[in-house]
Amino acid sequence: MAARSIGSLTVSFGLVAIPVKLYTATQSANAISFNLLHKTCGSRLRQQYICQKEGVVVERDEMVKGYEFAKDQYVRFTPEEIKALEEVGTHSVDISEFVPIESIDPVYFDKTYYLAPDKGAAKPYGLLVEALKQAGRCGVGHWAARGKAYIVILRPIGDVLAMQQLHFAADVRSASEVEIPKPEVKPQELKLAQQLIDQQTAPKFDPQAYKDELRGRIEAAIQKKVEGQEISVAETTPPGEGKVIDLMEALRASLEKSESARAQVNRLGPRKGPKRAEEPAKVARKAGKRNA
C-alpha cells in the first residue's frame, strides 16, 4: 500500500525553493498496546484526576497548568499564555549549512521523515539528492511544527530525501558524565578481541536480518486468547549476577563458538525464522465470523 502524505513543506537553500510532501518513516502505530479493564466485568476503565489536597475528582474544565519553580510552589499559565509562547509553524525547512554526515554522532538522532517532490519539483529535488550524494554531506536546518522548534538534517537514502530530527545539545548528556575505570588491556587480549570482531564482521548492516521476536510471541498469545485457548506461562529464571571470568579464556571460547556457528551456516544455509503470527485484528474478525 502506497504511503500517505501527512503534510507539505518547502525546502530552501540559497535562492532555491523545493516544495515537498512529508511522510512518516516509521510505523509506531503498529505497536501492540493493552488497555486497562475492570477485572470483574471486563469493561474499559476511564482515567480520572484526583486533587491531592481535597481528595475529589477534578473535571477537565476545572484544570489549569502550572510550573513548579520551588517545592509545592507553582506559577499558573492560561491556555492563551501557553499558546503565545509556542513556536509558530513555518511549513518550511531552511538549510543553513552543509556538514559531513559522519560528523553527527547518532546519539543526536531522533524521529525520521521521508520527503518526496511535490508537483513540478522533481528536477530541483533530484538535483539536491544527487548533489548531497556526491558531496557526502547533509543539510542542516530548522523546522517548526506542532508548537515546537526542531533542528533537522536532510540526507539522501538512495533516491529519497530523508529529514531527520536531531536533539538539541542541551538535551543530550555528555558521555563524560559516565565514570569509566581505565584497566590495563594486554596485547594478547586485544588481539583476540580484534579477531572476534573480524570473524563477526558483515559487509553492511541488514535490518531484515533482525526480527521482533517479542512482538511475534505477543501476537501468537493474542491469537490463542481470541480463539478461546489457554496459554501456558513458563517460569523465567532471572539472569545471574555478573561473575569475574578469565578474559582470555572467554575470548578463546567466543572465537571457537563463532567459528562453529559460521561453519554450520555454511553447511545448512541461513536458518529461516518462525512464521509470523497473524495480526490480532485479523484474528478477531475471523473469530467474530465463526461465532456469528
- What does the alpha-carbon distance between residue 194 and residue 24 come to, in Å, rounded to a whole number? 39
* Overall domain count for the chain: 2
The whole-number pLDDT of residue 253 equals 83
501557553: which residue's cell? Answer: 82
The whole-number pLDDT of residue 252 equals 80
Q: Answer yes or no: is 208 within a domain.
A: no
The whole-number pLDDT of residue 156 equals 96
Q: Does residue 188 share a domain with residue 127? A: no
Q: Does residue 255 share a domain with residue 220? A: yes
The whole-number pLDDT of residue 116 equals 95
The whole-number pLDDT of residue 240 equals 52
Q: Does residue 224 share a domain with residue 130? A: no
Q: Does residue 162 share a domain with residue 189? A: no
Q: Does residue 162 share a domain with residue 193? A: no
Q: Answer yes or no: is 90 within a domain.
A: yes
> In which region does residue 20 sit, left (phi positive, over 0), alpha (psi from -120 to 50) or beta (all else)?
beta
Return the CA Rg of the chain: 27
Predicted confidence pLDDT, tens digits, the chain (292 residues)? 678 898 899 998 888 899 999 999 987 766 788 999 999 999 999 889 999 889 999 998 999 999 999 998 999 999 899 888 887 777 889 899 999 999 999 999 999 999 999 999 999 999 999 999 999 999 999 988 888 889 999 999 999 999 999 999 999 999 999 998 888 888 888 888 888 888 888 898 888 888 888 888 888 888 888 888 887 777 666 555 555 467 778 878 887 887 777 777 666 655 444 444 455 555 445 544 444 4
The whole-number pLDDT of residue 292 equals 46
Q: Does residue 146 share a domain with residue 15? A: yes
Distance of CA 33 to the CA centre of its chain: 16
Q: Answer yes or no: is 50 within a domain.
A: no
Q: Does residue 124 share a domain with residue 99? A: yes
Q: Does residue 131 share a domain with residue 94? A: yes
Neighbour tally for 202: CB within 10 Å: 7
> Nearest 5°: phi and psi at 65?
-100, 145
The candidate with the shortest Cα–Cα distance to 143, out of 111, 106, 108, is 111
> In which region does residue 144 sit, left (phi positive, over 0), alpha (psi from -120 to 50) or beta (all else)?
beta
Q: What is the pTM (predicted TM-score) of this model?
A: 0.70
Q: Answer yes or no: is 137 within a domain.
A: yes
Q: Does residue 193 share a domain with residue 138? A: no
Neighbour tally for 159: CB within 10 Å: 10
The 3-state DSSP class for residue 187 equals: helix
Q: Answer yes or no: is 78 within a domain.
A: no
The candidate with the shortest Cα–Cα distance to 7, out of 116, 112, 149, is 116
The candidate with the shortest Cα–Cα distance to 91, out of 21, 14, 156, is 21
Please, what's the largest Cα pairwise distance for the chain? 71
Which set of grid coordinates corresponds to residue 248?
582470555
Q: Answer yes or no: is 33 within a domain.
A: no
* Domain ranges, residue 226: 182-200+213-230+247-292
The whole-number pLDDT of residue 65 equals 93
Q: Does residue 103 share a domain with residue 16? A: yes
Q: Answer yes or no: is 57 within a domain.
A: no
Tell me the CATH number at 164: 2.40.290.10
CA-CA distances (angstroms) from residue 202 to 7, 180, 197? 38, 29, 10
Q: Which amino acid is at 79?
A: P
Q: Answer yes or no: is 242 within a domain.
A: no
CB within 8 Å of 125: residues ≥ 6 apart? 18, 20, 115, 116, 117, 161
Q: Does residue 152 share a domain with residue 265? A: no
DSSP 127-184: HHHHHHHHHTEEEEEEEEETTEEEEEEEEEETTEEEEEEE--GGGS--GGGS----PP
Q: Does residue 165 share a domain with residue 126? A: yes
